[in-house]
Every structure is written in C-alpha cells, then in structure tokens.
C-alpha cells in the first residue's frame, strides 16, 4: 500500500475561500487586547516623547473589536497634537500619526 506522500491523488483539494478563512483565523489568533498602562507610566512616556529628538515608540493598533497588534517604529517626533492627543513620528521612509492613548512604550 502506497503512503499519502507517494500517492499524489490522495492530497485533498482545499477551495480558495476555505484557505482564506483559515489564514484569517490564524492571523486573528495573533491579536492581543490593548495593554493597560498605569498613570505614572503614561507621565513618564509623555516626558520621554517631549524630551527626546528621536524615539523608539511602541503602540497598540486596533484591528478587530477590542483586539489588535503592537507596532514599533523608530523615528523623530515631529509634532505633538495636545488637543487631538496624538504624535507624528517620522522616519526616512514613512510618517505615522499615533494616538497617545495607545502608546505602550517609548525609548529614547
């Protein structure tokens, strides 16, 4: 009796829609809830953002409902919008507006 590897006709066909659903489920498994940052940590993060010319910023980005991913970007804080509570982080290739409420870590 031939094994499944030796018999190419035993390989099961998976419709593209099912494959796409499976891959989406695998991506959804990677999502995390927004981390909770304490008030004293927020004050420290704000100080580092305001004080540094360059920063390595990590933030949570919502993807689905209360779940999302964490993103990290190294760049220059070009603008701090106090009213909108967001910062503009700029690199050589990209710029990103980041909500100050979603920032989880900053390293100068």
Q: What are the start-end ranges of the E strands in 48-102?
A: 54-64, 67-81, 86-90, 95-99
Q: What is the pLDDT of residue 95?
A: 93
For the domain with range 32-107, which CATH number is right: 3.40.190.170, 2.30.30.100, 3.40.50.300, 1.10.240.10?
Answer: 2.30.30.100
Q: Are 102 and 60 in contact (CB under 8 A)?
A: yes
Name the token pair of 61: 């980005």
Comparing 77 with 52, which gets the higher pLDDT? 77
Q: Average pLDDT of 2-12?
A: 57
Residue 14 reports pLDDT greater than 80 = no
Stated pTM of the model = 0.69
Q: Which residues pair with 16 in a beta bridge?
A: none
Strands 86-90 and 67-81: antiparallel
pLDDT band at residue 11, thresholds of 50, 70 and 90? low
Q: Which residue has the higher pLDDT, 70 or 48?
A: 70
- What contacts 24+ positions apart, CB below 8 Å, involve 39-46? 45/103, 45/105, 45/106, 46/100
pLDDT at 50: 79
Say yes or no to pLDDT of 36 above 90.
no
pLDDT confidence of 75, banded at 50, 70, 90? very high
């Amino acid at each position: 009796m031939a094994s499944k590897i030796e018999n190419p006709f035993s390989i099961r066909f998976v419709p593209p829609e099912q494959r796409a659903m499976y891959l989406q489920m695998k991506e959804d498994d990677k999502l995390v809830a927004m981390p909770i940052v304490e008030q004293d940590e927020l004050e420290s993060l704000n100080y580092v953002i305001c004080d540094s010319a360059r920063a390595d910023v990590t933030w949570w980005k919502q993807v689905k409902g209360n779940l999302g991913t964490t993103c990290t970007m190294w760049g220059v804080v070009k603008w701090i919008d106090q009213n909108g509570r967001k910062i503009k982080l700029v690199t050589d290739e990209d710029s990103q507006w980041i909500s100050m409420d979603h920032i989880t870590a900053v390293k100068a």
